[in-house]
Amino acid sequence: MRKYTLVLLLCISLLHVSACTPKTITCEDGYENVDGQCEWIRTAFEQKLDNTEALKNYTLAITVTLGEETTLLTIKFDDLKSEVSVGHVHEYFSEEAGALYHYTQTLEGYHKAEVTKSTLDIYHFYQGLFEKDFTLQNGKYLLNYGQYSFIEAFAASFDEDATYENFTMTLGEQFIEEIKLDIRNGEQVYKLAMVFSDYNQTEVEVPAL
């Protein structure tokens, strides 16, 4: 009986030691142990891209140059509202009760229609990029050669056969400051300069119907 008691006490002792010994977690390269979970490490560069994507209030000015012709497209984001302006033409988007509505100008005033939520998502094409995808040169990040689906989708918004080239990015202290790229459609080349500004200071008022 004494023998079995000693064996039982030994087993209990071993279980106690096993339960109290912290489990060592080894994370793969690019990940770190945070409270027992392997979490992906974002570089300072990538964090600025995340910060920009998370913004709900900012202004995006896009200058499009084709030959000698230049057009300025301004998009203002204000939480659930946004405004798209080209010259004297203004269009608006507003999310209401989970649906996205588009306001367009007509001779009688503005017309409101429901559209898909992905309409403005094409401007987040930088979200799939990593610091390793770039080469730093003269303070600007030049995108390396490769396939980047988000940028390809953005180019396709101009024309389904369009491609992109000469992609560069400039970063500020917290956010993206500027993105430049060319959109090529055959012999036509659209040169885009996209400037981010007015973080948390942009205001949008949709038309009253």
Q: Is the same domain home to 99 and 13? A: no
Does pTM top 0.75 for this prediction? Answer: yes
Length of the chain: 209
Residues 23-64: tens digit of each pLDDT: 677 777 656 677 777 776 789 999 999 999 999 999 999 999
Q: Is 115 helix (H, G, I), strand (E, B) or coil?
A: strand
Q: Is the same domain home to 106 and 162? A: yes
Domain-located, residue 208: no
Residues 146-202: tens digit of each pLDDT: 989 999 999 998 888 999 999 999 999 999 999 999 999 999 999 999 999 999 999
Rounded (10°) CA dihedral 55, 154, 91, 105: -170
Q: Is 153 helix (H, G, I), strand (E, B) or coil?
A: helix
Residues 79-114: tens digit of each pLDDT: 999 999 999 999 999 999 989 999 999 988 999 999
Q: Is the same domain home to 34 and 107? A: no
Residue 118's pLDDT band, with cuts at 50, 70 and 90, is low
Domain-located, residue 207: no
Which residue range(s) make up the domain with 15?
2-40
Q: Is the same domain home to 24 and 62? A: no
- Looking at the structure of the chain, the number of domains it has is 2
